[in-house]
Structure 1
Amino acid sequence: MESVKRNRAHKARLDLSAAQVAVLDAQAHTARALWNLLHEYFTFRQGRFATVKDCDAAIREARREIDWMGQLPAQAAQAVLKTYRQAWANFFNPDHPAKRPAFKGRGRSRLAVDVPQARDLQITRVNRRWGAVNLPKVGRVRFRWTKDLPGLSRGGPAGRITGARLVKDACGWQVVFRTETLAEPAAAHQGPQVGIDLGITVALALSDGTMREHAPWLGKGAKEHLRRLEKKSARQRRARHRGEPISRRLARTYDQIARLRARAKRRAVDWQHRTTTELAATFGVVVVEDLKITNMVRSAKGTVANPGMNVAQKAGLNHSIAGQSWGRTVTLLEYKTSERGGQVVKVCARGTSQTCHRCGHRDGAARDGIRYACANPACGWVGHADTNAAININNAVGTPVSGRGDLGVTRSAKRQPPRAA
């Protein structure tokens, strides 16, 4: 069989000095400013979008005329142009959820710098815990070695590093290596089929009666600390007038809040990776609901003329749904089951939690919290509501997914591709 390529990413923490952090921060802000300049140049022309050639010439001219533009390596600047063009391509793709590219605000965008060519990295392993990598205009930097990278370790996976991206989060700068490996096509997975109900009280309920649950992402003390920090930031914001820059004290409070939330996210992602790996190795077919999460977490505020009801309750529900990251769970399941010869099937979610899996009787009042009691006197099944929903999801394989519309419909005028200049 012919080998297939697998493109994956590996994230590692960088060990930087204060001077190196300052250099990377300056590069990232320059990349953000370049994006904004490209967006202005690309969209504010006389009725036509600029071509790649025009944008490339504009970048070269800007690097000659603007001193601080030289802080960003030339290849990283070209990567900004490539990413910007891809953002427009995603927007014009009717099957892609991307929104229209927009300006990036200083405080609302994540700092990132691209290193598109792997030959500039010169990755080596220093010892069991650390590796070293070259970063343009920064120098030799150590990074945390947590797994063998393809093509670099004796006995490690075969493949190569194709590039890297430097990103900054609340925990500091990280390097994300882009890897490419060769693997034999997986044989068909012989495991059983299972339906999974994504929930809040129970994270994952399976149709075989088992469940996958997790502890709170933050402990009791960390939750209380986060609550106090959020109250503190609210008091500090009240002392700030509109249009004024935030104070250093408020910035420190924001940083502390961000670090706590980043800790919770790391724990959530770790649990999702471990759980989805176990599910992909056990089951050959995984059936999940085709949820429109963006629609589910919309605010209930309404308008001035038609205000919404139970706004606070809906906001709390939206926060709980967002905290479970259902979309990321399904994404991890999709590629992990595919690598093992299995598949993920999406079915319509309508009525799965209100229908009895045994007799098919549907009644919205049959579910009370986590308990489901069938209202059909001839059936009377009683059990866990999430398990009942998971069995219905598993049984729904082969039924059409409603609400999709005609796949052959033309794109709206809003998403028509631009005319070439």
Structure 2
Amino acid sequence: MTADMGRRYRLYPAEDQAQRLASWGHTCRWLYNTALEQRQFAWQQRRATLGVAVQCASLTEARKELDWVADLPAQSGQQVLRQLDQAYRNWWDPQHPAGAPTRKRRSARLSVPFPGQAIAVRRVNRRWGVVSLPKIGEVRFRWSRPLGGAVRNAVVSFDGVAWHVGFGVHAGVKTPEAHAQPGTVVGVDRGVKVALAMSDGRMWNRMFTRPGQERELARLKSAAGRQETARRKHGTKTSNRARKIRAEIARTEAKIRNRRRDFVMWAANRLCAQHAVVKLERLPVIAMTATAKGTIAEPGVNVRQKAGLNRAILDKGWGLFETALANRARVTGTRIARVPAAFTSQRCSRCGYTDRNNRESQAMFRCGSCGYQANADVNAAINVRDAAEAASPLPGRAVRDRDRKVPCRPPTQRRSRTALEAGISRL
């Protein structure tokens, strides 16, 4: 049985348990990065592709030599290596949008994976449950929803604000053949001012940053940048004050992420429950939010304006909303259709006249032919609803020749050979 649903709960470890889990999280990050370097070095030097079995054997040797690696449960270390192997498989799959695996940066976001056979879940009362973790013991978590199936794996994570435990559950979910309300179709337009506008006139929006929070976050990041510049200039260690500022930045960003995730899931649940077909514009979000800096030889233009647009797009969670829709549609039977995005904001939904001057402002649409007036986002959503579906149903990445010929091509940013050999010797 494989996990087909996820359940996430707030975890409340004791102080000593939290410290040990944080230590394990940093060990998992080190193990992932070192195993990635080992694969890259093996491909560069011998054109050999390492598998999970070989790296698990190296992990066993490392556990004998390094106490801090041996403190991490063996099952968690093996799960980290399997995650890296799956990242490579996703990269090699032409239909998968994932790119080459990259190093995990040191940050406040930590995670420790566990297989299902290494943990035990028990409900204590109506509000609380406990999960038994190896070498940790029982840890309380808030029983906010039923599990709904057999637990197949778990991930304990820290997002900068609080600890959480996520369970992969086999619930036997089967997508319904027909929606509860067949024939209902809605078009959704994603915007930077209004997050979501529907073809039936509804508009959903939420501010994910509180008043003054953006200014405070910018101040903290500026201070962190100055401290990092001074540390590199003088060659000193990171100070306790710098660590506190980084922790405050991580807490603030985690709160913003939680509000954004709550909004997109709330919206996806309601749209999928009420409509049999949800139509979206096919938008290449990754390409749309790429930097415009350019190079020294060919610098970009309107860099600051493009950076502001990128932040606005990412703040509204366009990609996260599409993922939430796809996940919820598995339960309700809703079909997610993607339509071409060209001219949906410039075309009149009543007469079809298309002109860039039809959109007088960010919020106002006035047709230059028939005089139809409406909210610009709602007019675009109606065009999305009435548009024909795009030809390609999957947003998979394009297959390139070098992807076929070099199955384990390392990323361009690599450490020196000495550093790679040191990392392999540590593993």
What's the TM-score once normalised by structure 2's chain length?
0.86
Write the distance in 2 (CA, Å) between the matches of 1:272 and 1:71. 38
Q: Does structure 1 residue 373 correspond to structure 2 residue 366? A: yes
Instruction: Identify the residue that residue 161 of structure 1 maps to in structure 2.
Output: 151
1:413 is aligned, of 402, 408, 422, to 402
Distance 1:173 1:399, change over 3 A: closer
Cα shift at 1:253 = 1.3
Distance 1:43 1:264, change over 3 A: closer
Which amino acid in the other structure matches residue 32 of structure 1? R
Distance 1:212 1:5, change over 3 A: farther
Which amino acid in the other structure matches residue 300 of structure 2? G
SS in structure 2 of the partner of residue 208 of structure 1: coil
- 8 Å CA contact 1:357, 1:388 repeated in 2: yes
Cα shift at 1:180 = 1.3
Distance 1:319 1:410, change over 3 A: closer
Cα shift at 1:27 = 1.6
**Is the deviation greater in 261-270 or in 396-405?**
396-405
Write the distance in 2 (CA, Å) between the matches of 1:238 and 1:60. 39
Write the distance in 2 (CA, Å) between the matches of 1:399 and 1:269. 27
Instruction: Identify the residue that residue 33 of structure 1 maps to in structure 2.
Output: 30
Which amino acid in the other structure matches residue 362 of structure 1? T
- Per-residue CA distance 1:369-408 (angstroms, 9 max, x = gap): 21112222xx222211111111111111245469989x9x
After superposition, the CA RMSD in angstroms is 2.6
- 8 Å CA contact 1:48, 1:418 repeated in 2: no
Task: Give the length in aligned residue pairs.
Answer: 401
Distance 1:229 1:179, change over 3 A: same
Distance 1:344 1:5, change over 3 A: farther
Q: Does structure 1 residue 74 correspond to structure 2 residue 67? A: no
Write the distance in 2 (CA, Å) between the matches of 1:5 and 1:35. 23
Cα shift at 1:244 = 3.6
Which amino acid in the other structure matches residue 74 of structure 1? A
Q: Does structure 1 residue 53 correspond to structure 2 residue 46? A: no
What aligned pairs does 1:252-271 form with structure 2 within 5 A after superposition?
A: 252-271=244-263
Instruction: Identify the residue that residue 100 of structure 1 maps to in structure 2.
Output: 100
Write the distance in 2 (CA, Å) between the matches of 1:393 and 1:6. 34
Instruction: Identify the residue that residue 5 of structure 2 maps to in structure 1.
Output: 8
Cα shift at 1:297 = 0.9
- 8 Å CA contact 2:26, 2:110 repeated in 1: yes
Instruction: Identify the residue that residue 142 of structure 1 maps to in structure 2.
Output: 140
Distance 1:195 1:259, change over 3 A: same
Write the distance in 2 (CA, Å) between the matches of 1:381 and 1:75. 63
Write the distance in 1 (CA, Å) between the matches of 2:57 and 2:50. 11
- 8 Å CA contact 2:7, 2:168 repeated in 1: yes
Write the distance in 2 (CA, Å) between the matches of 1:120 and 1:355. 57
Cα shift at 1:221 = 4.7
2:326 is aligned, of 314, 334, 350, to 334
SS in structure 1 of the partner of residue 4 of structure 2: strand
Write the distance in 1 (CA, Å) between the matches of 2:189 and 2:380. 6
2:165 is aligned, of 171, 175, 181, to 175
Name whichever structure is richer in helix by fraction.
2
Cα shift at 1:235 = 4.9
Distance 1:403 1:65, change over 3 A: closer
- 8 Å CA contact 1:205, 1:386 repeated in 2: yes
Distance 1:402 1:172, change over 3 A: closer
2:279 is aligned, of 275, 283, 287, to 287
**Is the deviation greater in 21-30 or in 284-293?**
21-30
Q: Does structure 1 residue 229 correspond to structure 2 residue 220? A: yes
2:383 is aligned, of 386, 389, 392, to 392
Cα shift at 1:40 = 3.0
- 8 Å CA contact 1:284, 1:337 repeated in 2: no
- Per-residue CA distance 1:7-60 (angstroms, 9 max, x = gap): 121122221222212211222222222223322332322121123332232222
Which amino acid in the other structure matches residue 383 of structure 2? N
- Per-residue CA distance 1:77-98 (angstroms, 9 max, x = gap): 1111211111110111112222
Instruction: Identify the residue that residue 288 of structure 2 maps to in structure 1.
Output: 296
Instruction: Identify the residue that residue 113 of structure 2 maps to in structure 1.
Output: 114
- 8 Å CA contact 2:3, 2:168 repeated in 1: no
Write the distance in 2 (CA, Å) between the matches of 1:47 and 1:23. 38
- 8 Å CA contact 2:184, 2:275 repeated in 1: yes
- Per-residue CA distance 1:153-206 (angstroms, 9 max, x = gap): xxxxxx211110111211132211111112455241215111110011111111
Instruction: Identify the residue that residue 188 of structure 1 maps to in structure 2.
Output: 178
Instruction: Identify the residue that residue 240 of structure 2 maps to in structure 1.
Output: 248
Write the distance in 2 (CA, Å) between the matches of 1:41 and 1:236. 32
What's the TM-score once normalised by structure 1's chain length?
0.87
- 8 Å CA contact 1:30, 1:71 repeated in 2: no
List gaps (5 residues or longer) in structure 1.
Answer: 151-158
Write the distance in 2 (CA, Å) between the matches of 1:104 and 1:275. 31
SS in structure 2 of the partner of residue 20 of structure 1: helix
Distance 1:198 1:241, change over 3 A: same
Write the distance in 2 (CA, Å) between the matches of 1:93 and 1:286. 27
Which has the higher relative contact order, 1 or 2, with Cα contacts under 8 A spaced 6 or more apart? Answer: 2
- 8 Å CA contact 2:329, 2:336 repeated in 1: yes
Percent identity between the aligned chains? 37
Cα shift at 1:296 = 0.8
List gaps (5 residues or longer) in structure 2.
Answer: 409-427
Cα shift at 1:125 = 1.8
